[in-house]
Amino acid sequence: MSQDKIDIKEVTAQTFNPKAHKNKGDRFNPNNRIYVRESKGHFQRMRRLGAWLLLVIFAVIPWIPYGERQAVLLDIGKQQFNIFGTTLYPQDLTLLALLFMIGAFGLFFLTTFLGRVWCGYLCPQTVWTFMYIWFEEKLEGSANKRRRQDSNRLTANLMMRKTLKHLAWFAIALATGITFVGYFVPMKDLVISFVTFNGEFWPVFWVLFFAGCTYANAGWMRSIMCVHICPYARFQSAMFDKDTFIVGYDTKRGEQRGGRSKKVDHKSLGLGDCVDCNLCVQVCPTGIDIRDGLQYECINCGACIDACDHTMDRMGYEKGLISYTTEHRLEGEKTKVARPKLLGYGVVFALILGLFFTQIATVEPAGLTVLRDRNQLFRINQAGEIENTYTLKIINKTQETQEYQLSVHGLKNVSWYGKQSISVDPGEVFSLPMSLGINADELESPIVKIEFHLSTGEHFTLSAESRFIKKL
pLDDT at position 1, please?
45
Contact by Cβ (8 Å): 51, 130: yes
Q: pLDDT tens digit string along 96-119?
A: 889 899 999 999 999 999 999 999
DSSP letters of 103-150? HHHHHHHHHHHHSSHIIIII-HHHHHHHHHHHHHHHHH--HHHHHHHH
Q: What is the mean pLDDT of the chain?
A: 88
Domains defined for the chain, CATH in brackets: 11-28+93-115+231-363 (no CATH), 35-88+123-221 (no CATH), 366-469 (2.60.40.10)
Say which amino acid occupies 358.
T
pLDDT for 23:
61
Q: Quick one: pLDDT band at residue 361, thresholds 50, 70, 90?
A: confident
pLDDT band for 84, please (50, 70, 90 cuts).
confident
Burial of 428 (0-12, 13-18, 19+ CB in 10 A): middle
Of the two residues 143 and 238, the one the predictor is more confident about is 143
pLDDT in tens, 19-57: 777 666 555 555 567 899 988 999 999 999 999 999 999
Distance of CA 330 to the CA centre of its chain: 33
User: How far is Cα 28 from Cα 25, in angstroms, rounded to an integer?
Assistant: 9
Q: Is 342 helix (H, G, I), strand (E, B) or coil?
A: helix
Using omega within 30 degrees of 0 as the cis cutoff, is the peptide bond preceding 256 cis? yes
Cβ-based neighbour number of residue 237 at 10 Å: 12
Among candidates 335, 341, 301, 321, which has minimal Cα distance to 115?
A: 301
Query: In the predicted model, what is the mean pLDDT of residues 145-173?
Result: 93
Q: How far apart are CA 83 and CA 221, in angstroms?
A: 34
Residue 276 pLDDT grade (very low, low, confident, very high; cuts 50, 70, 90): very high
DSSP state of 365: S
Q: How confident is the model at residue 459 (pLDDT cuts 50, 70, 90)?
A: confident
For the chain, give the percent of residues with pLDDT over 90.
59
Integer Cα distance of 383 and 379 in angstroms:
11
β partners of residue 369 = 393
Report the alpha-carbon distance of residue 74 to residue 81 in Å, rounded: 4
Distance CA 346, CA 24 (A): 41
Is residue 2 pLDDT above 60, yes or no? no
Q: Does the structure show a pLDDT above 60 at 6?
A: no
Q: If you average pLDDT over residues 134-157, what whole number do you get?
A: 91
> Given this model, what pLDDT does residue 203 score?
93
Instruction: For residue 303, give every residue at least 6 positions away whose Cβ sits within 8 Å of its Cβ, in sequence order, or none.
Output: 39, 43, 44, 283, 284, 285
So what's the pLDDT on residue 353? 94
Q: How far lies 197's CA from each of 181, 182, 189, 201, 210, in Å?
A: 16, 16, 12, 11, 18
CA gap 87, 82 in Å, rounded: 4
**Alpha-carbon 85 to chain mean position:** 23
| 112: CB partners within 8 A, 6+ apart | 239, 240, 241, 244, 341, 342, 345
For the segment 360-375, the average pLDDT, to the nearest whole number, is 85
Read off the pLDDT of each residue in 211-224 and give the average, rounded to a whole number. Answer: 92
Q: What is the pLDDT of residues 232-269, one digit of tens each?
A: 887 777 888 899 999 999 999 999 999 999 889 999 89
CB of 300 closer than 8 Å to CB of 117: yes
